[in-house]
Chains A and B, each alone.
Chain A
Amino acid sequence: MSTIDFEAIFEAKLANNEFIEPKDWMPENYRKHLIRQVSQHAHSEIVGMLPEGNWISRAPSLRAKLVLLAKVQDEGGHGLYLYTAAESLGVSRDEMLEALHTGKAKYSSIFNYPTLTWADIGAIGWLVDGAAIMNQVMLQRSSYGPYSRAMVRICKEESFHQRQGYEIMTRMAFGTPDQKEMAQDALNRWWYPSLMMFGPPDAESPNSENALKWRIKRESNDHLRQRFVDQTVVQAEYLNISIPDKNLKWNESKKGYDFSPPNWEEFKNVVKGNGICNKERLEARNKAHNEGAWVREAAAAYAKKQNQLSTAA
């Protein structure tokens, strides 16, 4: 068979809503795009453990501590599933980590914002996970089989993440004046970064076109962002705290809210590495990896010795 035939098979699969599996022929650009997207997604999960992990030691009740610990652990698990999905495309976890640690690979810039109060843990669950879930539900139908399967598992596990965040927000928003102030402040600080999570506006999104064509993504950035805003407004109203946007207004003709765009200059700066926590996050990842090197070496050496013993026996 010639390459052209392979390409036709690939296109036919996409057209029939079938999945592409690791051993199937795929265009090199498709593979590259996926490796970039899936590994970035994995990095985001792993780096995303850090801002929330910041509060594990200070969680204000034992129940809250258990929930937060389980949630941060889930994020590690999700990073693991996603790295595996990327590995099936022929890149090793080592290579991906190397790209993360040297700053070559990107991760979601939301995790470069600091968690300053306990309400931030609520806001992250409510808004950041809320936005992530919206994206991930779509990705369950992504055309690459291993990515799609990882997303199915992740969505199932993440269903508690947003709820626990909203529960924290509820307790804060209906708590003491101090708590209510923290809740409002957290919404103020996390609102626009959450809107940024869906990526640049469609008109300026360089990778979107191919991603949609290949069904790696299935909905546009702006479309998802709109849905997120529409869903979140009523949740903020219930909490009796206000979304920090004077232009937020119901638009009957589009059956959705009009809202102010986030500051895309800030977004570009954070992506470039100028967020308040970029340096710290990368340092934390590098430190864990470097300090873990001797542990991994010891485990590899031990396994080798065990193998030698069992072959000698």
Chain B
Amino acid sequence: MNELVFKYLLRISDSGLILAQRISAWTGHGPFLEEDLALTNIALDLFGRSRSLLDYAGNLEGKGRSEDELAFFRNERHYYNHLICEQPNGDYAQTMLRQAFVDAFELLLYTELSKSKDQTLAAIAAKSVKEITYHKRHSFSWVKRFGNGTQESFTRLQNAFHELWPYTGDMFEPIEGETDLVKNGFVPDLQKIKTDWEKIIKDLLEECNIRLPENVYMHSGSAKALHTEHLGFILAEMQSLPRAYPEAKW
């Protein structure tokens, strides 16, 4: 069971880590100063959460791997983050829509995880719920502004939607053996979360005059650590120092 929980922890911690790595690229380059600070706050929350989860995963695994060893010394085929998290930042509409998709998903997921039979996971999740509630408020506000702002912002939001939508299905792909975790009350059933998520996103996008398409082909694979080509570059950059100087302490 520990092995299974370990893998599940990687799945959720990696998603936060890779998304944070993506959005922190905006720090110093945001559309205006206040928003620069706001998005950085979200990146800080996500990195912080991933640290807690990786730390716990390392303990559970029992091989003495630290949060940093798990973050910096695993390659693409051992990363389980959702495909959507590794997609490029694009313009601000794409960054915010990606964030809204993930925030809505995470709020549902972590709310359930805060009731997990696993006490440590439940505690981390409870703290995260507060953070994610704010992230969602922020990203949803922006998506509405873009949907109802100018013609240009609407077009950009629509383009972002077409770009990102096929990666949303992947968030609801369970890892192998996840049903056992569900049965034991450790983690929630993703199918249930999916229904709620679709409703929330449908309402949000309706406010933006974007209709959800039907029968779009959904990419998947991240539950088996199969990724788009983007992840390799993210990891190459992120892991470069610890891998170049494995003896060094920072």
Most buried by B among A70, A80, A168, A295: A295
Closest to A47 in B: B28
With a CB–CB cut-off of 8 A, which chain A residues contact B40? Answer: 69, 72-73, 76
Report if A64-B250 is in contact (Cβ < 8 Å); known contacts: A76-B33, A296-B32.
yes
A289 CB to nearest chain B CB (Å) = 8
Please determine whether A295 and B37 come into contact, CB atoms closer than 8 angstroms. no
Kindly list chain A residues whose C-beta atoms are within 8 Å of the C-beta of B241. Answer: 58-60, 118
- Given A62-B71, A66-B44, A76-B37, residue A294 in contact with residue B250 (CB < 8 A): no
Using Cβ atoms and an 8 Å threshold, which residues of chain A touch B41? 73
B25 within 8 Å of A by Cβ?
Answer: yes
Q: Which residues of B contact A83 (CB under 8 A)?
A: 33
Choose, from B112-120, B140-148, B213-221, the stretch at the interface.
B140-148
| Shortest beta-carbon distance from A206 to chain B in Å | 30
Task: Classify chain A's interface size.
Answer: 35 or more
Within the complex, which residue of A62, A70, A301 is in contact with B50, where a contact is CB–CB below 8 Å? A62
User: Residue B177 at the A interface, CB < 8 A?
Assistant: no
Interface flags, B23-38, vs A, CB<8A=1, else 0? 0110111111111110
User: B123 at interface (Cβ–Cβ under 8 A)?
Assistant: no
Q: Are A291 and B248 in contact (CB under 8 A)?
A: no
Which A residues from 52 to 81 make CB contacts under 8 A with B?
53, 56-66, 69-70, 72-73, 76-77, 79-80
A57-B237, A61-B68, A72-B27 known; A176+B92 contact, CB < 8 A:
no
Cα of A56 to Cα of B33 in the assembled complex, Å? 18
Which of B50, B145, B250 is A302 in contact with, Cβ under 8 Å?
B145
Q: Does A256 contact B (CB under 8 A)?
A: no
A301→B149 contact, CB < 8 A: yes
Task: State the CA gap A73–B34 with chains docked (Å).
Answer: 10
Residues of B within 8 A of A66 (CB): 44, 47-48, 51
Closest to A297 in B: B150
Whether A150 sits at the interface, judged by CB under 8 Å, is: no
Quick one: CB contact mask for B129-145 with A, threshold 8 Å, 1 for yes? 00000000000000011
A49 CB within 8 Å of chain B: yes
Query: Interface size class for chain B?
Result: 35 or more
Given contacts A53-B27, A291-B91, A294-B152, contact A69 B44 (CB under 8 A): yes
Distance A155 CA – B69 CA, assembled complex (angstroms)? 35
Distance from B160 Cβ to chain A, minimum over Cβ atoms (Å): 13
Chain B: CB-nearest residue to A290: B31
B94–chain A nearest beta-carbon distance, Å: 12
Question: What are the residues of chain B within 8 A of A171 when measuring CB–CB?
Answer: 249-250
B153 within 8 A of A: yes
Contact: A288 with B29, CB < 8 Å? Answer: yes
A selection of 5 A-B contacts at a CB cut-off of 8 Å is A69-B27, A76-B28, A284-B28, A298-B150, A301-B149
- The residues of B with any CB-CB pair to A shorter than 8 Å are 21, 24-25, 27-37, 40-41, 43-44, 47-48, 50-51, 54, 67-68, 71-72, 91-92, 144-146, 148-150, 152-153, 156, 237-238, 240-242, 245, 247-250
Q: A60-B72, A62-B47, A69-B40 are in contact. List 8 more A-B contacts (CB 8 A).
A: A57-B237, A62-B67, A62-B68, A69-B24, A77-B37, A80-B34, A178-B248, A294-B150
